[in-house]
Amino acid sequence: MSATTPSTPLPTSVFRPGDIARAASGGLAANRLRAILSALGIAIGIASMVAVLGIASSSRAELLATLDRLGTNLLAVTSGTSFVGDDVELPEMSTAMVERIGPVEATASTTAVDAAVFRNELMPSGRTGGLAVHAADADLLHVLNGTLASGRFLDTAPPGLPVTVLGATAAERLGGIRPGMQVVIDDERFGVIGVLEPLELVPALDSAAIVPRGVAETLFGTSTAPSTLYVRTTPAQIDAVSGVLAATANPENPEAVEVSRPSDALAARDATESTFTTLLLGLGAVALVVGGLGIANVMVIAVLERRSEIGLRRALGATRRFISRQFFGEAVLLSGIGGLGGGLLGVGVVAVYATSRALPVAIDPGVPFAGVGAAVLIGAVAGVYPAVRAARMSPTEALNH
Amino acid sequence: MTAMPSTEQVISLRGVHKRYPGGVHALRGVDLDVNAGEMLAIVGPSGSGKSTMLHIVGTLDLPTEGSVHLAGHDISHLNDRELSGLRARTIGFVFQQFFLLSGTSALDNVATGAVYTGLPPRERRARAAAALDRVGLGHRVDHHPNELSGGERQRVAVARALINDPQLILADEPTGNLDSKTEAQIIDLLQHLHDEGTGVLVITHSHEIAATMPRQVSLHDGRIVADTAGRHVGAPA
């Protein structure tokens, strides 16, 4: 065991990886509360980033599913204003003309009715509650891909009867109207035959009472010209159709026609959300940097507090490098634990949030792993200075304090 | 314990000076030879340079002037890794403050003494159990330092110093934190280890303790003023 001649190679000290891990975890275990608190800083940073990314991807998944369900091949043609600022109605024939465009699959139109809807005759006439009345074609629901919350749509009602289908918001604002009840539209009683689910593509109709065209014409003198014409096209031809719609719907005043794509509004919501996501990610990154500083701080204190351990370990045969490895390992372990906790917490937050909003839980499994990786990286950066400081400490100074 | 012949020198100091930044001249030309298996005390009042002797003899610090040989190696020719390895195998340290890792069992504290030798953990724990047996603490392996008396803690520290079968136990005021009854037990233990063949060097301010040792080296103002080596040199009984 003993080297007797100076020429024999000396058995050098070694520090096995397993022993580094044991020494590092032992150091943390000796001061658990402080370890937990400093790891918490990293955990919060990682959790917030994972949660932000997870919530963003969950709501995007929801949006894509919605668009998929509703279809992006719907176009809306609305009457607009002429060059001189006059309101220009769509011609009565516009529906028929648009239907003649090849790739158009279906059309339906609505016309605003100059009337207000109330729960009963006792309501003061000024309080419309922001609710509108629209006359509509019987196949409107089909073209909009809408669904009924309860009851039936206009297509099942015998023509000429004063019946109405309420949008989701309208039914709620009128005081929880259900099919079978009656509402009053400009002193006329209308039987409610159905209530719609919210129409994601055309939210304006949510706060409207929809009545059959014929009834509106007879009772309120509503024009048969559409105010808004909804057009379903074959998906591949949507741009081409969009290009000719204005001229087809109103050949005399194509400039007074507005063509829009309702699904664009939903996509715009996504764009807004990703701006927010970027902002929140930046905040998460700041939290992470602060967490890293916390770890560096705690490790510097640990090095000072554990001078005697450093001196002892040097006496037991640790080289300077072993000492630095131990403290470096401790910093990495600390932030790694924080990262792992933060990753789990972040995924948990996404799961709870998505479930509570009935969104799909869509999180890239790489995100929490990348979070742990980022945490380890931060711990490595934070651990360099304390580790070097521990290694530089002379064993005699360390033992004397 | 050691296979070394009794004439083998574990430690050899020649013309050792130690000056600290700030002008303190702690050691002023010290010559000291410690043979394998020898038991001795370095005794001196505070400020005599005892602590510096501990650090120089323990190779924790280098002299400003002069040479230090550890187990035949001139330590000024060794790098950190070699010197650390040699230190781990040649010297077992015992400190006044014990320096046990709190929250770690007696067995694991002792096993820590062999961490840097490259032995697998299982082997280290087996040796630690044997070392605890040697110091009479075989029944306390799972106790944590805060569950042990001062004397028992120092026994754990002695066991940790023994785990690598060192040629020399270097004990710095090993009874400084203990009452006189416990002090006698620890000195007895060191005597017993010496009888089994391990070298023991005790650094102390107490002439009473030094008097129990076969050899006394008196240190004063950084110089060796007396050494009874002439009368006691050679293998112990």
With cut-offs at 50, 70 and 90, classify the pLDDT of residue B2: very low
Say if A391 is an interface residue toward chain B (CB within 8 Å): no
- Gap between the Cα atoms of B174 and B155, Å rounded: 10
Cα four-point dihedral sign B225, B228, B230, B233: negative
pLDDT tens digits along B19-59: 999 889 999 999 999 999 999 999 999 889 998 999 999 99
**Minimal Cα–Cα distance from B164 to chain A, Å?**
10
A228 and A297 together in one domain:
no
pLDDT tens digits along A72-105: 888 888 887 777 777 777 888 888 888 888 888 8
Pick from A262, A280, A315: which residue ends a domain? Answer: A262
Cα four-point dihedral sign B24, B28, B31, B34: negative
| Contact check, Cβ <8 Å, A309/B74 | no
pLDDT greater than 70 at residue A1: no
Partners of residue B61 in chain A, C-beta under 8 Å: 394-396
Q: Give the residue, A276 or A392, on which the prediction is more confident.
A: A392
Range ranked top by mean pLDDT from A56-65, A169-178, B171-180 = B171-180
Say if A13 is an interface residue toward chain B (CB within 8 Å): yes
Pick from A262, A293, A320: which residue ends a domain? Answer: A262
| Contact check, Cβ <8 Å, A13/B117 | yes
| Contact check, Cβ <8 Å, A4/B72 | yes
ipTM, interface predicted TM-score of the complex: 0.90
Domain edges within chain B = 39-50+86-230
A96 and A244 together in one domain:
yes
pLDDT tens digits along B183-198: 999 999 999 999 999 9
Partners of residue A320 in chain B, C-beta under 8 Å: 80
Q: Which of A265-274, A277-286, B1-10, B167-176 has the lowest mean pLDDT?
A: B1-10
DSSP element (H, E) containing A201: none
Q: Assign residue B172 a region (left: φ > 0; alpha: ψ between -120 and 50; beta: otherwise).
A: beta
CB-based contact B9:B69 (threshold 8 Å): yes
pLDDT at B230: 62
pLDDT tens digits along A2-36: 444 445 677 889 999 999 998 898 888 888 898 99
Looking at the DSSP bridge assignments, the partners of residue A313 are: none
pLDDT tens digits along B127-169: 999 999 999 999 999 999 999 999 999 999 999 999 999 999 9
Query: Does some domain include residue A4?
Result: no
Report the pLDDT averaged over residues A110-132. Answer: 81
Report the pLDDT averaged over residues A359-374. Answer: 89
pLDDT at A401: 61
Query: Does some domain include residue A155?
Result: yes
Partners of residue A319 in chain B, C-beta under 8 Å: 80-81, 84
Task: Please report, rounded to a whole number, the percentage of residues in chain A having pLDDT higher than 90.
Answer: 28
A240 and A140 together in one domain:
yes
A245 and A356 together in one domain:
no
Query: Does some domain include residue A156?
Result: yes
A174 and A226 together in one domain:
yes
A387 and A315 together in one domain:
yes
Q: Which of residues 286-345 of A touch B (CB under 8 A)?
A: 308-309, 311-322
pLDDT tens digits along B53-103: 999 999 999 999 999 999 999 999 999 999 999 999 999 999 999 999 888
pLDDT at B199: 95
| Contact check, Cβ <8 Å, B60/A314 | yes
pLDDT tens digits along A136-165: 888 888 888 888 888 888 888 888 888 899
With cut-offs at 50, 70 and 90, classify the pLDDT of residue B7: low
Query: Does some domain include residue A12?
Result: no
Report the pLDDT averaged over residues A245-257. Answer: 80
**Minimal Cα–Cα distance from A375 to chain B, Å?**
27
A246 and A386 together in one domain:
no
pLDDT at B3: 42
At which residue do the structure tokens 């073209």 appear? A143
pLDDT at B233: 44
pLDDT greater than 70 at residue A192: yes
A58 and A154 together in one domain:
no
Q: Which residue of B has its CA nearest to A401?
A: B97
Report the pLDDT averaged over residues A349-363. Answer: 89
Q: B109: how many CB neighbours lie within 10 A of its CB? A: 26
The top-level CATH class assigned to B39-50+86-230 is alpha beta
Partner residue opposite B85 with nearest CB, options A10, A23, A309: A10
CB-based contact A45:A290 (threshold 8 Å): yes
A29 and A100 together in one domain:
no
pLDDT at B235: 41
**Minimal Cα–Cα distance from A381 to chain B, Å?**
25
Partners of residue B90 in chain A, C-beta under 8 Å: 2
The count of domains in chain A is: 2
DSSP string, A12-61: PP---HHHHHHHHHHHHHHTHHHHHHHHHHHHHHHHHHHHHHHHHHHHHH
A229 and A320 together in one domain:
no
Question: Which of A1, A2, A8, A325 has the highest number of chain B CBs within 10 A, making it the mutation to test binding with B?
Answer: A2
pLDDT at A112: 87
Instruction: Return mean pLDDT, chain A.
Output: 86
Q: A219: how many CB neighbours lie within 10 A of its CB? A: 17
CB-based contact A293:A268 (threshold 8 Å): no
pLDDT at A320: 94
pLDDT at A218: 85
pLDDT at B115: 93
pLDDT greater than 60 at residue A64: yes
Partners of residue B88 in chain A, C-beta under 8 Å: 13, 316-317
Owning domain of residue A390: 17-67+267-400
Structure tokens at A254: 């194509």
Report the pLDDT averaged over residues A377-400. Answer: 91
Q: In b/e form, how buried is each residue of A70-99, taking b as 16+ CB within 10 angstroms?
A: bbbbbbbbebbeeeeeeebbbbeebbebbe
With cut-offs at 50, 70 and 90, classify the pLDDT of residue A271: confident
Pick from A217, A244, A262: which residue ends a domain? Answer: A262
Q: At what angle do helices B121-134 and A17-30 cross, to 10 degrees?
A: 60
Instruction: Return mean pLDDT, chain B.
Output: 90
Query: Does some domain include residue A246?
Result: yes
Task: Please report, rounded to a whole number, the percentage of residues in chain A having pLDDT higher than 70.
Answer: 97
Query: Does some domain include residue A117?
Result: yes
A87 and A151 together in one domain:
yes
A106 and A225 together in one domain:
yes
Say if A137 is an interface residue toward chain B (CB within 8 Å): no
CB-based contact A78:A88 (threshold 8 Å): no
Interface of B with A (CB under 8 A): 2-4, 8, 51, 55, 58, 60-61, 71-74, 77-78, 80-82, 84-91, 93, 95, 97, 99, 101-104, 112-113, 115-118, 121, 160, 164-165, 167
